[in-house]
Structure 1
Amino acid sequence: MPADLTEKTDRYEAMLADALTEATIAVPEPRPLGTAAAEIREMAESYLEDGRHFRENDDPVNALAAFSYGYGWLDAGVRLGLFEIPDETSLFTTA
């Protein structure tokens, strides 16, 4: 059975918020990679805020898209080694 839009939006909002809590920048600024990590984190935070704005304005489709896109940015940063994450987390793709 496909996931309900509300349930999926709730899940992706929580997943992005949790991912932002768990991921810490691995490379300090002002190094170029540190700057890239900070920009990726800012993008993910912005998409979380945007998604919450869409949700407050009864636009769950764009809310889900924003949460998903923000999570994708952060997950890519983890995959590139720009962020450190706890060993026990299952929030990110690390292969």
Structure 2
Amino acid sequence: MHLPEYFLRLQEQCESLTCSCPKGSPYHILGKEITEMISSYLDDSCYFSSQNDIVNQYASLVYAHGWLDAAIFLGIISAQDNKTDFLSVISPVTYNSSQLIEKETRYFSMLTTALTSISNFPATGSPLHTAGKHCVKIAQEAVREAENLQKKNDLFPALGYLCYGYGWLDTAIRSGLVKITSHPELFTTER
């Protein structure tokens, strides 16, 4: 699938989002905030597309996708399931390769550092502790996959893994499942 189709699939899912929690509850407010984050990054991807900035367009889409999948996993929001997978995106023929190298290298460093700058927040007996661990595991696996792809010089999907994993990690933090212990500048914690 090409980037425009990927955008349309994510946009379709975003338009079908519903908050799973009762109105006025903290988790309903959280669901609304997460929906706004997803929508905002989809909008960013449109801007980048209009500037022919393929690297940032892709990064925005996959980051939004990470937030979407993490929030659905946590039960905060629900959406139509359209089996969208960022790994199905075909690497564009033309893009700024030096920008891709810089962004992938920077995101690899940022996510690696972010994963050493957190701790699981809920008590171990809580199901939210397990949920937080799962979100962190997705981000850790994303770093491993990106590293393997780096070795093959396959940086477009490597960046995808990093953005997707970062989306999961930021969702876990925004949801109160993971606590920031250092480097708060690496996280999307404020609206």
TM-score, scaled to structure 2: 0.46
Let me know the Cα RMSD of the aligned residues.
1.6
Alignment of 1:51-90 (within 5 A): 51-86=146-181, 89-90=184-185
State which of 3, 15, 30 in structure 1 corresponds to 2:110. 15
> What displacement does 1:85 show?
0.8
SS at match of 1:58: coil
The structure with more radius of gyration: 2
> What displacement does 1:69 show?
0.8
Deviations 1:6-30 (A, max 9, x none): 0100010011101101111001323
Fraction of identical pairs, as percent: 35
Structure-2 separation of matches of 1:50 and 1:33: 26
Structure-2 separation of matches of 1:28 and 1:57: 40
Contact 2:111 2:166 survives alignment (8 Å)? yes
Q: Kindly indicate whether structure 1 or structure 2 has the higher relative contact order, using CA contacts under 8 Å at least 6 residues apart.
A: 1
Shift of the 59–90 alpha-carbon distance from structure 1 to 2, 3 Å rule, reads same
Matched residues, number: 94
Unpaired segments ≥5 residues, structure 2 = 1-52, 54-97
Unpaired segments ≥5 residues, structure 1 = none
TM-score, scaled to structure 1: 0.90
Letter of the 2:149 partner, please give it: F
Q: After TM superposition, where is structure 1 displaced by more than 4 Å over at least 4 residues in a row?
A: none
- The alignment status of 1:93 with 2:188, answered yes or no, reads yes
Partner of 2:138: 43
Contact 2:121 2:177 survives alignment (8 Å)? yes
